[in-house]
Structures are given as C-alpha cells and as structure tokens.
Amino acid sequence: MKKMTMPRGWYLKLVLFCVSLLIVFWAQAQADGPPVQPSDSTGPTMTPSPQAQSQASEGQAAKAEAEPAAQVTMACTISPIGDLVGQARITFDPKIYRVLRGVVSDPMYFLRELSSNRADTELAPDAKASYDDASNSVVLSMHVLGFASNQGHGRWQWAPEDLEYAGTSTDQTERKVMTFSLKSSPADDFQFKGEAMCTFPAGATDVFYDQRNKLVRYNLAPKENTGRGQLDIRFDARDQIMSGLYKVYGLETEFAAQWIAKTCVENVGKGAITDLRLRYRVAGYSEWSMWQKYPEVLPGQTVVSVYKPVLDKTISELTSTTPANVLVEWRFTNSDGERQEDSDGERISILGRHEFVFSNMTKEESMGNWYDASSNASMIAAWVTRDDPVVKQFAAMANKAAGGKGAPYSDEAAYAVLKSCYELELANDFTYQGPVGLSDPTLSFDNTIVQNIKFPRDVIRDKSGTCIELAALYCAMAHAVGLKPYMVLIPGHAFSLIQLPSGNFLPVENTGIGGGKRGGAAPFDKVVASATETYKKAAEKGRILEIDIEDCWTRGVSSPELETLPADILQRWNIGMQTVSPSPGPVPNPTPPSPEPGPGSFPSPVGTWSGMVTIPYPQMSYPMQIHFTMNQAGQYAAAWYGRATVIDAYGQQIVYEIRENFAGQMQGNALIMQGQSKTVSANGMMQQAPTDNMTVQYEGGRLVGHVNLAEGGVATWQATRSQQY
C-alpha cells in the first residue's frame, strides 16, 4: 500500500519519493496484494497495518539494509552566484530499473521536483537527465538557480534540510567540500542510501554546518565590478486556487507546491543590485504581504521569490468560481544608488469553498498517469473537519448507541463503535449520491475535473453524499472517537480505512448505504468485506493511495473556518438514534445491475441516468446526466448536469457547463419538477441563471425529460440508467 505522505527530505529525497510511486507497480507484482487476517470473534475482516506489513525479521531487515532498492551518489558545486551545478546518479535494483525504464519514457521526470512548479528554486535550461542502461542508472545533470541565499556583505547560506552532515574536508585545489549521507527511514516504502558531496566556490571561507538551525553557512567576497545592474523579472501566478485551502497556502507548510505566485529575478547586468524587496497581494482577499528582502543580487545571480499568502477567512465563503487579481510590487537600489520600483499582476480564478482540484501539475510536468493526476490528493484532509462540533455530536451519538465503548482501547470496542457510526447513517436514511458531470458512469469521482466536495456537516444535513464525501464524514467520525483515519483513493473511487488499536486496519465501503431504507443498503460486515476486496484488487493493479489524514493535519493541511451552528442543529435536521435493520441488498459498485420494470409501470428513478439533450434553437445536442433521490415523504430531488462545446463567431471554443437542481413529485405517470437553483459556466466562469420546469416520463426503457426553459423554448433529453440504488 502506498501512503500519500511526502517525505521531509531534500531535493533528491523528493525525486526518490516520485520513484517510489512508480515502483509500486513492481512491488505489488511481487505479492498477491495485502494479506488479510482471518476474522476474529468480533466478526471483522482486518487488513494488517502498513507498519505490520513492512516489519520483517532481524535477518530480513539486515538484508534490506545491505541491499537497498537504490544507491545514490551526488557530486555538486556551489557557483559564486549561488547556483547548484553537478551530477547525481541513482542506481537501481535491476528489476526496479526495468519497470522504471518501461513506465518513464522521458528521464527528465526525475528532475521534475526541481522545476519551477514544484519548489522555490528554478531549474536552468541546460539541466538534463539520461538513462544509463549498462549500470541500471538514471543520471541527473543538475543546474538549479537560486539554490544558495545571498545574505549580503559576502555572507551565504543554504538549507540541506534533513540530510545527515558527515563532515568537511579540503580538496586538492584548497576548496572546501562538505559531505552528507542520504538514507531512507525504515518506514519508507522505498529503501535507498547514498552520499552527497558539495564543493564550495573558490575563495569561500568560514564554511561550517550550523547544527542548531540546520543551515550551511559560508563567506565569499564578491568580485569588484563597476558596471550597471539590470533586472529581468518574470512573474507567474497559478491559474486557479482552492478557497477551501486558504489556511494551507499561508501556513508555510511542507507542501512546497501549494503556492499562489512566484517571481524569478535575474540580474542580467554587469553590476550588483542591492536592497531588493518584493511583496504580494490577492486583491480583495489579503493585505499586502511582508516584504521579502534580498540584500544583494550579483551579476548573473537569480533570486526566486515565492508567495504563500495569508488570506482573509471570507475567501472560504465563496460558493462559486470568482476572479481575482494577484499583484506584486518590487523595489531595489541600482548600482548608481538610485531607488527603483515597479509592479505586475495576473488574473486568477478562486474556486468555490467546496471545489477541489486533484492535481496542480501543468501539462508539461505531468506524465499523464493516475498518480500525477492525483498530486493534490493529500489536500483532501482539509475536507475531513476534525474540530467541527456538528461532527463530534454525530460521532458521540454513534458512540452512545454502541454502549459508550472506548474505541481506542481494543479492536472489539473499536469495531463496535465503527459499526455504530455506519448504522447511525443508515438509521437516519443517508443515501449514496453519485456525482453528476462525469463522462464515464462507472466512476464515483473523476480526478481530471474540478469536483464539488461537501464538508461532513453538509453530508449530515443533506443525508447524502458522494463516495469521497461519505468517506470524509466517516474519517472525521473515526477521529472523533479516538481512532486514526485514512482515506483510500483508487481510480474512480474512494473509501475509508481506519486503524484499530492493535495496528490493524479496517476498510469500510462507505457507499454501502446505497439508496437508504427504501433503496436497499448493505449491513456493516458486507461493506467491510467489499472494501477489503476492492483494496486487494486495486493493490494488485498498483494504483492505490492512502491519505494519512492525521499526518496531513500535523503538517499544515487545515480545514477552513465553518459557520457556528446552533447546539441543537442535529435535532433541527431530524437526526436521531433510531435503530435500523438494513434491507438486504448488494454493496453498491460503480456499475450495479439495473432490472427493468414491468410493462406499463414507472420505475423508481432513484440513481443516475445518462444520455443526450437536444435543443431545437439554436440546434444542438450534448451529453447530460441526472441523479434522482427521494426522501421519506416521497418527494423527489434531481441534480441535472450538461456539458456543451460550441465555437463562437470568432472561432474560439467555449465549453458550457449547466447545473440545475430540481424538486417535485409523481403526478399520474409523470414526474413533475420545478427548478430550485441553476448555474451556467463558460470556460470555468460561473454565474447564476433563471430556473426551469421539467416533466419526466418513462418510455421504452428510458427516461425522457421535457424542460421548459426560462429563456424560452423546450429542451428534450433521453437517458438510460447507469446507476440504481
């Protein structure tokens, strides 16, 4: 199993983390999937923990120590202007190398973590990577701009992070050389070790390793110059940011890719620039940041300034995509002692509080695989609201229903409480809601699109949720009762995985609630068995991520501030402790069977239907989906989604996405529904629109809808069932 937790290491450790994601294909091929312990007296089927799976005998540990999966050697030089130039060689186990060679066609992948979108440095154009098949190695020719920081007056420093300092020596040219050891921890999935040697510029003095502050410091007198400095400034901002992560951006977390903007400043002149300062602002959502100060920029030197803003909490109140300007100002003193200043800016999109982007990689960076498309997966921990009183009350209700057992103290008690958490959802008629807007109806979510994800309190209020939303609620409840939650992501689906007091794991298929009391739900032992089987199959294919929710929390992935709700909100939402006997039914899967109704009857529309919509004027057709739910009073709700691509008069492509929520009831052989809310987005820019009315009938095995459009005319859609609960 692959836990989605980034290593706290230096650049090569980041590279090797990416390697570890790839070698899961090889590692899983060596096994039949994660072993499962036989059921104990409590009934659960439990998966051994990652720690238990990785532990071996002392002899096996010694073998792993002697034979790591990769050996790393690195020899680099710090240039007089603070760049890192050198070569690294990663030599792999031959079996792993063959897998990597087949999976990664372009070896530049291994330099990706040093690129502009992944760290607060810049990769120079002459950096390159190559394969050496003869030695089963990847060779990295590195050139990293802005690696060492110029503190002014000839003082420099850089941070080796958690590389282990081994010593300082002097080479034959009298230049100082610092040596570090590079080694994975025993808990890492990918075991490697090696050595990094860093040579300092000629003339560097007072070279030492500051153990207390984890910094390398040295002095280097700058060359005298009489020319004039000139700055080349390149400003870049993210196309879109997630308002739900506004705390993450400003907390200076270990997630280096979560920045808003960055500025690369290169002195292309012949003289030094002094007292360079930059500051940033997201107009309307932040104050000006503190000045980032750079005392001196030498000729040829590059400074990389990264903006991680402290955003106003009002940003988390946005409900749809909103444009905003990111601004930067800079000041400096030129070689003649003259003060200079200027500014720049870019327009970005701030996504609504519920919208989630699964990857922040550009098309140029991404290899197009599932892991790259899930590079933001750890951020889902922000949607698991650990401190929400609403969730705590709901979890306490489940714990009380289980007899007040202490979940952290035994597997039996933990199983009973987790079972009660699931059955509390069933008792309150929670339902699984298949997300609309997916082109592939076999998926529960699609990590290639921006997905709307509710917070756990919203799932409780609505008594329904998608697979990710239900898993987030369950993880939050597990944490509230003292257990450690994980969220498991596999292609197109998500479920929860809870660590038991023994260290074993209990997987739970959260969509087992299905269609609730009326639509059929699975009992707890079936959803555990189903999730266990799902886990095994995904692990065998090598595409599975485990998000360690608590680890992400401790490293800065914080939930946004949520509104204070009344203390009796659960009672107001009609949430109670009723008992439940789940009706027999299979655990939902991406494409469950769909029995057809008898002649002359209208089937229950609950579930998801996919088809095409036709508009007579302007004449066009485009794909659509609609998802129906029904409450205890027999009232229906429907979430409708359509996606149309058109070419305007100027030949530009515009992608329209239409979302509308309906409510209504059966009248004879037709379902009469009124629009409740409607949004239309054009190339991601969303706005509210007048609602429509709709009549739905069942004809020849299909649902047919006639929509009276508020702007005039009638749209007709036909759809077949893709999911039923």
Residue 188 pLDDT grade (very low, low, confident, very high; cuts 50, 70, 90): low
| Distance set, CA 582 to CA 401, 463, 519 (Å) | 16, 16, 10
| Buried-exposed string 78-92: b where 16+ CB fall within 10 A, e elsewhere | bbbbbbbbbebbbbb
- Which has the closest alpha carbon to 679: 715, 640, 629? 640
The residues, ordered by sequence, that sit 6+ positions from 268 with a Cβ below 8 Å of its Cβ are 230, 231, 232, 300
What's CA 5's distance to the chain center, in Å?
11
Q: Which amino acid is at 577?
A: M
Give the residues across from 340 on adjacent strands: 332
107-141 pLDDT tens trace: 887 887 666 556 678 889 999 999 999 999 999 99
User: pLDDT at position 100, please?
Assistant: 79
- Region of poorest pLDDT, from 263-277, 290-304, 408-422, 506-520: 506-520
- pLDDT on residue 52: 37
Q: How confident is the model at residue 27 (pLDDT cuts 50, 70, 90)?
A: very low
Q: What is the number of alpha carbons within 13 Å of residue 288 lying toward its C-beta?
A: 10
Beta-bridge partner residues of 131: 138
- CA angle, 490 then 493 then 499, to 5°: 70
Beta strands in 46-104 (DSSP E): 70-78, 84-92
Question: From CA 607, how far away is CA 592, in angstroms rounded?
Answer: 11
For residue 555, give the DSSP letter: T
CB 688 within 8 A of CB 668: no
CB contact burial 244-266 (16+ within 10 A = b; e otherwise): bbbbbbbbebbbbbbbbbbbbbb
78, 206, 217, 701 from 176: Cα distances, Å:
11, 10, 12, 79
What are the pLDDT digits (tens) for 280-299? 999 999 999 999 999 999 99
Instruction: Say which residues have a Cβ less than 8 Å from residue 26's Cβ, sequence separation at least 6.
Output: 95, 96, 99
d(CA 666, CA 664): 7
pLDDT at 379: 92
In this prediction the pTM is 0.70
Closest by Cα among 564, 507, 565, 512 to 534:
507
How far apart are alpha carbons 238 and 84 in whole angstroms?
Answer: 26
For tokens 């000729």, the residue is: 299
Whether residue 55 has pLDDT greater than 50: no
Helix axes 467-480, 411-427, angle to 10 degrees: 130
Average pLDDT over residues 196-222: 93
Nearest to 53 by CA among 504, 490, 488: 504
Question: What's the CA gap between 37 and 49, in Å, rounded?
Answer: 11
At a CB cut-off of 8 Å and minimum separation 6, what does 372 contact? 359, 361, 365, 366
Choice between 256 and 77, residue whose per-residue pLDDT is larger = 77
What would the pLDDT profile of 583-630 be if each residue is shown by its tens digit? 444 444 433 333 333 333 567 788 888 999 988 766 788 899 999 888
Reduced to 3 states (helix: H, G, I; strand: E, B; else coil), residue 423 is helix
**Given a cut of 50, is residue 441 above it in pLDDT?**
no
Backbone angles phi, psi at 332, to 5 degrees: -165, 165
List the beta strands (DSSP E) in 205-354: 205-210, 215-219, 231-237, 240-242, 261-267, 273-282, 292-297, 302-307, 322-333, 339-351
- Give the DSSP H or E segment for 517: helix 516-519
Return all residues near 596 (Cβ < 8 A) that are at least 6 apart. 603, 701
Does 41 score more than 60 pLDDT? no
Q: What is the DSSP string of 375-409?
A: TTGGGGGGGS-TT-HHHHHHHHHHHHHTTS--GGG
- pLDDT(29) > 80: no
Q: What is the mean pLDDT of the chain?
A: 82
Using CA atoms, how far apart are residues 356 and 103, in angstroms rounded to an integer? Answer: 28
